[in-house]
A = this chain, B = another copy of it.
């Protein structure tokens, strides 16, 4: 039995055996398990054995589609039996846009430095882990790698390093490098968490960092519409409508995430830098004009520079960066088309 690092996500807490038979099977055959793979981390000293936790859902022998989300997403793209909905439940399921009657969906929990024996984890490390996992599972080639946000970055790293292991990419709200303004916003988030580490106010700091992150995820117009009300005096100070939302989001995040994981994955986004010219795999890019974190201009540049053929789909949405989570009806036909 291997030592897997603890996470605060209750859904992962019971998966500690290695190697294990799937503990939960639903109608279409889920595997939630862990595989030990070998990996040479970008910022490490040579090869390292790592346990990769994954979920592999869908009909046996169907083509596999890798699906990865943002840094706070986990392998539960879709829910195993009796569990809470997965983070992309609306788009992944029996009969859904990513149809588990036609595909098997494979997703991993992001690796963190503690697992790699490093102080830093790169998008390349995540990509290499996925490539090694495909080998371990006997998947010669994925039908597609569908990545959103950090998942799109990892998909690009995957296609640059292991182009034979996926037929196509579908990239939502993620590019070959981050925008310096977004780096600045994440840098302040990390600064808040480090301040909390120094003073022992870790939960408060992590919640506040998440609050800041939330201000970057949604579109400006949506904030304007939802939180236009008057402030309220509550004895200590005035509270603004948007603050209740932010504080709620901050508290929820602290319940399921920890500071070290946040620091490492946030930094990993900013270190991400893949030359599009090294990506020969056909790609569908999906961008949102209201996304202030990943400007559409960066996806335009990515499209121009990719070596393989690339289509850019522009989806209007008030939800900004979060449109990859909040617009299943607009995204469904694009995903169906891209996976055809």
Residues of A within 8 A of B (CB): 119-120, 179-181, 183-185, 187-188, 191-192, 195-196, 198-201, 204-205, 208, 211-212, 214-215, 220, 223-224, 226-228, 230-231, 237-238, 240-243, 246, 267, 270-271, 273, 292, 295
Question: Is B246 within 8 A of A180, CB to CB?
Answer: no
Contacts of A191 in B (CB 8 A): 208, 211
Can you list 7 A-B contacts with CB-CB less than 8 angstroms, sorted by A residue number? A179-B223, A183-B227, A187-B211, A188-B212, A195-B199, A220-B295, A224-B295
- CB atoms of B212 and A180 under 8 A apart: no
Q: Within the assembled complex, what's the spacing in Å between the Cα atoms of A260 and B57?
A: 54
A270 to B230, CA, bound (A): 10
Compute how far the CA of A119 lies from the CA of B220 in the bound complex, rounded to whole angstroms: 30
Contacts of A237 in B (CB 8 A): 119, 267
Minimum C-beta distance from A289 to chain B (A): 13
Residue of B nearest to A236 (CB): B119
Q: Let me know if B208 and A120 touch, CB within 8 A.
A: no
> Of A119, A191, A199, which is in contact with the most chain B CB atoms at under 10 Å from its CB?
A191
Measured in the bound complex, the distance between the Cα atoms of B325 and A244 in whole Å is 34
Residue of B nearest to A208 (CB): B191
Query: For residue A201, which residues in chain B have a CB less than 8 angstroms away from its CB?
Result: 195, 198-199
- Chain B residue contacts of A195, Cβ below 8 A: 192, 195-196, 199, 201, 204-205, 208
Please give the distance in Å from A263's CB to the nearest CB on chain B. Answer: 9
| In the complex, residue of chain B having the shortest beta-carbon distance to the beta carbon of A239 | B187
Report yes or no: A180 in contact with B271, Cβ–Cβ below 8 A: no
Chain B residues within 8 Å of A267, by CB: 237-238
Choice from B185, B228, B238 contacting A180 with Cβ under 8 Å: B228
Whether A242 touches B184, Cβ cut-off 8 Å, given contacts A191-B211, A192-B192, A195-B208, is: yes
Rounded to whole angstroms, the CA-CA distance of A263 and B220 in the bound complex is 24
- Chain B nearest CB, measured from A323 CB (Å): 16
**Do residues A223 and B181 form an inter-chain contact, with CB atoms below 8 A?**
yes
Q: Which residues of B contact A211 (CB under 8 A)?
A: 184, 187-188, 191
A211 CB to nearest chain B CB (Å): 5
Interface centre among A180, A183, A224, A226 (most CB of B within 10 A): A180
Q: Once the chains bind, are B215 and A185 in contact (CB under 8 Å)?
A: yes
Give me 10 other A-B pairs in contact (C-beta within 8 A), A199-B201, A231-B271 excluded: A179-B220, A179-B223, A181-B223, A183-B242, A184-B223, A187-B242, A187-B246, A195-B204, A195-B205, A199-B199
